[in-house]
A and B are shown apart, each in its own frame.
Chain A
Amino acid sequence: MPASHRTRHALRYLPVLPAVVLLLVFLAGPVLWAFHASLTNAGLTGRHARNPDWVGLENYQRLFQDPVFPLSLALTLLFVAGSAILGQNVLGLALAVLMRRARPVVSATVGTAVVAAWVLPEIVAAFAAYAFFSRDGTLNQLLGSVGVAGTDWLYAVPMAAVVLANVWRGTAFSMLVYRSALGGVPGELTEAAQMDGAGAWQRLALITLPVIRGSIATNLMLVTLQTLAVFTLIWVMTGGGPATGSTTLPVLAYQEAFKFGDIGYGTAVASVLILIGAVFGAVYLRLLREQRP
């Protein structure tokens, strides 16, 4: 390639520069800093606040010996699997399928209700969910009105409460994705299958889902990663408790770094979280690549 050509080629990509600079400074930089800080004993206060020592993998060793860590990891995976992969994804698909069969006015109304929870500011959604699940909240009142004794949801089953709250809050995204994906499925395909006598479930499993598998993979990736980072909802509803009953990794990282001022240890937790995000991302990217022509 002649030099002038190469220059022109490079110049064409000049407009990418602002985005690249923003991403490098505000995302890549902090990620590298996080990995670096996780290898030190940096603190918010105390002797190591301004002059942290290099401690190598000590924080990670401590992390892997900490009984809270496996628990927190399991809770995080449970939260992601329950509220994103199963909850939002499946409910979103179901809603999208139902909406194609329901009356337009019904599907528009219900669509608005579902989307409202998603559009709400996260802190408002968290307050609403807290009030819903609290001891004298809406859920227990409803149960009481049909004669069922409720329980203290945020205390007795904190993970179930935050998982349900996140399903409530996030399903709209999957629903919108699947509505548009289903809109792109050629009508002839399903009609032909119907002529051949395929039932509704068969048509869904054999025709529709394979056609939209690209959207499924993309949606799964996006909701998984959004859910992995959820902090505010859990923080407001349970604060990670009772005890460590709902301390997912973002909550643990916040507590260690900010509450206990142990920046080195907190960023070690955060680094693990970043790595988990990267693993999920890599898996879904592979899925996406495989299904491409």
Chain B
Amino acid sequence: MVAAAAMVLAACTPADPAGGDRTIKVAYQKTDSFTALDTMFQDAKKEFEAANEGVKVDLQPIQANDDDYGTKLALALRSPSTAPDVFYEDTFKVRSDVDAGYLLNLDSRLSGWGDWDKFDAGAKEAGKADDGGTYAVPLGTDTRAIWYNKKVLGAAGIGLPWRPSSWQDILDTARKIKASQPDVVPFNMYAGKGTGEGSVMQGFYELLYGTGAGLYDPDSKKWVVGSAGFKDSLTFLHTLYAENLAVPPAEALDPNIWKKVFGEWFPKAKLGATVEGSYAPSFWQKGGNYAWPEYGQDMAVAPFPTQDGTAPGAVSMSGGWTLAVGAETKQPDLAFNFLTTALNARNSLAFTVNSSQIAVRKDVAADPGYQSGNPFVKDVSDLVAVTRYRPATSDYPRISAAVQEATEAVITGSRTPEEAAADYDAAVAGIVGGDKTIRK
């Protein structure tokens, strides 16, 4: 805190040589259910403008969902004249945006920022590019787990707390729920293109990374094709949907299905379990979009198991967002100082709690306010130990689309798991070229 303030003062006293324009343009996402970031920037703006006389912070919230926000940000970054000075950046876009020359290298500035040591080492990785430099500062992260309704599982005679140790356990439990409560969806797993990136982050990847296979081989820098794990994962989804243990396929492809999961099915005990993000409580807590006062008693969290229980026994996926400084900014020091104000301990804490994020600053993680933010903070934070990240390459969005297509073909029954896996292999070769694939 003190260090940050000192930095701010230091930067402001010498007065930038050019004088002139002292406005920092900040671009970020805001939606009607995601206002935590907006609140954080409003606070940071007040704080920063008070500490830096003559500096104006121009907040430019972009109202869009994740996909559209990414598009609009990229289109703005493309032209130096519209590129913001500080912006909210998805971790998996960092590398390709560094390739594009959109992000400023922060190494020299970070070394002078006392708070940087308080950031979790694993989280810091998210802001690194291929050249080893750091270009973005993490804002928060998330993990994914099984969220289940205790009432539904209890009524099916499942012992609580439930902790499945293999995929078979999940199927057995789902079948028991089906038998005891025919009008309940036993175990939902997102699939298909409707829910976009969410359908693989909260679904297929938990399966795939629990088989020992993966999407990408970082050592050879090639994409994995033809793995048994890929086929097994598709087969699991096929079983789930074919036995009506998940929602009907048509419903799974509805982009709004997640709203029903959070807003309708869980609160009404119409859904046994689903794979969802650690941010789930942000929808249910007071002031959330689907406020549900009893969620703390009715819901519980279990780690998603590996295929047959092999170590480490659980799988999770992490995404998360960062703040970055535009490469073309005319005020790199001011912009960086604003970033440090926005991410100081107080603002980080408020943001992390409001949006049910997992803290990336150790001091925030240790704060009692954070630990009591919601009843599941400990459960989901523990998963950081086993969590995995998506390959952060510029081909990734297309690969992800190919995975979504494979899952869609399987749950709708238009392709068998083997056929869909073969289609995926062909699609990957088409996207990255046959020489960039590896059979495992």
Contacts and interface: CB of A to CB of B under 8 A. Distances in A.
B409 A243 contact: yes
Contact of A45 (B93, B194, B253, B409): B93
Nearest to B395: A46
Contacts of A243: 193, 405, 408-409, 412, 414
Contacts of B255: 239
B397 A260 contact: yes
Given A239-B194, A241-B193, A259-B397, A45 B71 contact: no
A259 B74 contact: no
Interface stretch (B26-34, B94-102, B165-173, B331-339): B94-102
Interface string A148-162: 000010111000000
B327 to A, nearest CB: 10
Contacts of A258: 71
A44 interface: yes
Nearest to A238: B253
Contacts, number: 74
A242 B102 contact: no
Nearest to A262: B398
Given A45-B93, A242-B192, A243-B409, A260 B102 contact: no
A115 B99 CA distance: 51
B193 A45 contact: no
Contacts of B412: 242-243
Interface residues of B, number: 32
Contacts of A155: 249-250, 253
A49 B100 CA distance: 5
B109 interface: no
A46 B194 contact: no
Given A152-B250, A239-B255, A45 B192 contact: no
A242 B99 contact: no
B235 interface: no
A243 B192 CA distance: 8
Q: What is the interface residue range for chain A against chain B?
A: 20 to 34
Given A44-B74, A243-B405, A260-B398, A49 B194 contact: no
Nearest to B74: A44
Contacts of A49: 74, 78, 99-102
A261 B73 CA distance: 11
A292 interface: no
Interface in B394-413: 394, 397-398, 401, 405, 408-409, 412
Contacts of A48: 100
A135 B250 CA distance: 9
A47 B93 CA distance: 13
Given A242-B408, A259-B397, A46 B99 contact: yes
Interface in B49-100: 67, 71, 74-75, 77-78, 93, 96-97, 99-100
Interface in A1-53: 43-50
B394 A45 contact: yes
A43 B394 CA distance: 10
Interface in A147-199: 152, 154-156
Nearest to B78: A49
B47 interface: no
A47 B67 contact: no
Interface string B235-251: 00000000000001111
Interface in A212-263: 239, 241-243, 258-261
Contacts of A66: 430
A62 B68 CA distance: 26
A259 B253 CA distance: 18
Contacts of A259: 67, 71, 397, 401
Contacts of B192: 241-242
A135 B409 CA distance: 20
Contact of A242 (B248, B253, B394, B397): B253
Contacts of A43: 100, 394
Nearest to A46: B394
Contacts of A46: 96, 99-100, 394
Given A45-B74, A261-B397, A241 B99 contact: no
Contacts of B251: 135
A221 to B, nearest CB: 33
A44 B78 contact: yes
Contact of A50 (B100, B253, B408, B414): B100
B101 A261 contact: no
B328 to A, nearest CB: 10
Output the residue of A44, A48, A155, A259 with the most chain B CB within 10 A: A44
B313 to A, nearest CB: 35
A66 B398 CA distance: 14
A293 to B, nearest CB: 50
17 contacts: A44-B71, A45-B97, A45-B99, A46-B394, A47-B99, A47-B100, A47-B394, A49-B74, A49-B78, A49-B101, A155-B250, A239-B194, A241-B192, A242-B193, A258-B71, A260-B397, A260-B401
Given A44-B71, A45-B394, A50-B78, 8 more contacts: A45-B93, A45-B96, A47-B100, A49-B99, A50-B101, A154-B250, A241-B194, A261-B74
Interface of A: 43-50, 66, 135, 152, 154-156, 239, 241-243, 258-261
Among all A-B residue pairs, the 5 with the closest Cβ atoms? A49-B100, A46-B394, A155-B250, A152-B250, A44-B74
